[in-house]
Amino acid sequence: MQKLVIATGNQGKLHELQTLLQDLPYELITQKQLGISDADETGLTFVENALIKARHAAAISGLPALADDSGLCVDAMNGGPGIYSARYAGPGAKDGTNNDKLLTDLLPFRGEQPLVARFVCVLVYLRHANDPLPIICQGIWQGEILPALRGSNGFGYDPLFWLPEHGCSSAELEPALKNRISHRGQAMAQLKAALDTVNC
């Protein structure tokens, strides 16, 4: 069975990726298991940062690597916090402090119209560190930003991400449904189709 390094130190992402990948013929290894530190995310886009993380893990491990770069983009904030979503409240930020900062920063924009936002996920699969043709997949999940937290499932900004078509927040969805319809679920569906083509 082919080994695959999951290039993330985010436990929420790791859990979702492991669940989404469980039906594929890979032995999943976390970068923590290999003692690989997080890469310096110096890119200016989700694609650049996902490539940086995948290449970092592949170079150190000598194995194929899968990286996820994702975040929340709010229209009223010109797409912010975007690639800085995980560290929006500063270095070492936690979900709670990021959510609090987002709510505070959005107060001037609150009105009759909903605050439109989207979760974005870019997955990059590298066969090796110098792979000239990485598989890059992107998922976008449309929603709105709530004025207060709702729900206890998920992680990150899930309690603030309202889904009008479901009448609940992302954090109120059953995990199986979230994994099917979310930005990460969409990107993973594309990746699985691409891997089937490559491996056939």
Q: Is 75 noted as a catalytic residue in this protein? A: no
DSSP category for residue 26: E
Alpha-carbon separation of residue 188 from 66, 101, 123, 146, 195 (angstroms): 11, 30, 7, 27, 10
Catalytic one of 69, 95, 131, 196 = 69
Full DSSP string of 104-126: HHHGGG-SSS--EEEEEEEEEEE
Q: Where are the alpha helices (DSSP H) in the chain?
A: 11-21, 46-61, 95-106, 175-181, 183-199
Q: What are phi and psi for residue 76, nearest 5 degrees?
A: -65, -20
The residues annotated with a catalytic role in the active site are: 69
